[in-house]
Amino acid sequence: MNVPFVDLKAQYAQIKEEILTELENVCQNTAFVLGPFVKNFEQAFAEFIGVKHTIGVNSGTSADQLALQALIKPGDEVITSPNTFIATTEAITAAGGKIRFVDIDERSYTLDPAKLTGAITPQTRAVVPVHLYGQPADMDPIMEIAVQHDLFVIEDAAQAHGAKYLGTGKGDSAAGKSGEEKAWMNCGSIGHAGAFSFYPGKNLGAYGEAGAVTTNSDEVAEFVRMYRDHGSKEKYVHDFEGHNMRMEGFQGAVLNIKLRYLKEWTEARRKNARYYNQLLKDIPGVQTPEEMPYARHVYHLYVIRVSDREGLQKYLSENGIGCGFHYKYPLHLQKAYSHLGYKKGDFPVTEKAMEEIVSLPMYPELSRKQMEYVAEKIKEFVIERGGCGA
């Protein structure tokens, strides 16, 4: 049996007719850059997330950058966790910020709010919690600390389309000031801005590069809308130097169709995660992912922990199963960030997790038979072959 790590063809087969018709419409309207198809998607996504504005851009990296650039000044320190894709920190640098890392919580793999206050200096201006793998970061305590220290919060929701957090999102829940009831809120609607990626393999994926900023702030929205289009509101009238970070019409059209299926696809991912949990739970030395009590995880990635991840990956690969490491090395130990002066041991929770994590195939179309086969091969590696120290 063959179980690829992602299978975008299976999804395409389901929606091919609708997609091709809409792409034809884009051509007939010659609406190739921004235009009505992008606008329709922006409105639909804003409604889906529960924010006033969605601004479509050309990638999640640009979304991270522009959300930050709208809020911070050059030289400001920005805190994030070291177990994220480098786009998060590239965006901080591109926005003129200075990267500061804080370790993660070992259960959720997201920024540990208990370690946040200790990393804040008078230069700190923003925090970027990453809703990694589709699991929301613990936003209420993060918002609480942000309010106390007058920080902006930019959610990196690149992997968390439709993921929900149970809280007040107000930053005063821990102190109990608001007395407000907790409610389920979408990732990307809680902080001052959110950044989404629509890279093809994401839970909501375009047919090329695309991303979006979400926000309730009119000022942030206006800055991002203008910056993505050369600092202009009106063609050839430029209030400041921006860049070309516009979303393409084809991407807006594809995303708008796929957004209608996202709820159904997310339920399928969650169902698959529950089935994997059940299949893997009794295999010694295999730790399955934990959905935090405050979280509705959307399983962009289904990540287990084992002691010999290289061995397991090799064994699965030999048996036709694709898997990945998200990520291979923590950012503070990458050559790109040697100038920041971090060393091994600085973020022990991240470092240990990064040596043990393996992402298994995960997508809505994954069949029970495929998951059973993956579980069977993991069992074989651990029990029969004595892998992972069993």
Ligand X SMILES: Cc1ncc(COP(=O)(O)O)c(C=O)c1O
The contact set with ligand X (CB under 6 A) reads 59-61, 64, 84-85, 87-88, 130, 156, 158-159, 197, 199, 211
> Nearest to ligand X by Cβ — which residue?
60
Q: Is the CB of 211 or the CB of 387 nearer to ligand X?
A: 211
Q: Rounded to the nearest whole angstrom, what is the least distance from the CB of residue 265 to ligand X in the complex? A: 18
Residue 210 Cβ vs ligand X, minimum distance, rounded to whole Å: 7
Secondary structure of residue 34 in the 3-state scheme: coil
Give me the sign of the Cα torsion angle 32, 36, 37, 39.
positive
**CB closer to ligand X out of 111 and 388:** 111
Helix or strand (DSSP H, E) at 345:
none
Nearer to ligand X, 159 or 214 (CB): 159
Q: Give the residue with the Cβ less far from ligand X, 196 or 265.
A: 196
Least Cβ distance, residue 290 to ligand X (angstroms) = 19
Minimum gap (Å) between residue 311 Cβ and ligand X:
26
**Minimal distance, residue 87 CB to ligand X, in Å:** 3
Shortest separation between residue 158's beta carbon and ligand X, angstroms? 3
Nearest 5°: CA angle at 345, between 309 and 386?
Answer: 25
- How far apart CA 51 and CA 48 sit, in angstroms, is 8
CA distances from 358 to 23, 82, 231, 281 (A): 36, 17, 42, 15
Provide, rounded to whole angstroms, the least separation between the CB of residue 109 and ligand X. Answer: 12
Please provide residue 318's backbone torsions phi and psi, each rounded to the nearest 5 degrees. -60, -25
Q: Which runs of consecutive H residues, i.e. helices, occur in the chain?
A: 8-29, 35-49, 60-71, 86-94, 139-149, 218-227, 249-259, 262-280, 309-318, 348-356, 368-379
With 0-12 / 13-18 / 19 or more C-beta atoms within 10 angstroms meaning exposed / middle / buried, residue 143 is: buried
CA dihedral over 355, 361, 363, 367, signed as positive or negative: negative
Question: Would you call the peptide bond into 327 cis, given omega within 30 degrees of 0 as the criterion?
Answer: yes
Nearer to ligand X, 20 or 86 (CB): 86
Q: For residue 117, how far is the Cα from the chain centroid? A: 23
Question: Cβ closer to ligand X: 110 or 256?
Answer: 110
Who contacts 36 (Cβ-Cβ below 8 Å, separation ≥6)? 29
Q: Name the token pair of 69.
A: 């650039």
Shortest reach from residue 333's CB to ligand X, in Å: 18
Closer Cβ to ligand X, 203 or 256, answer by number: 203
Q: Which is nearer to ligand X, 133 or 223 (CB)?
A: 133
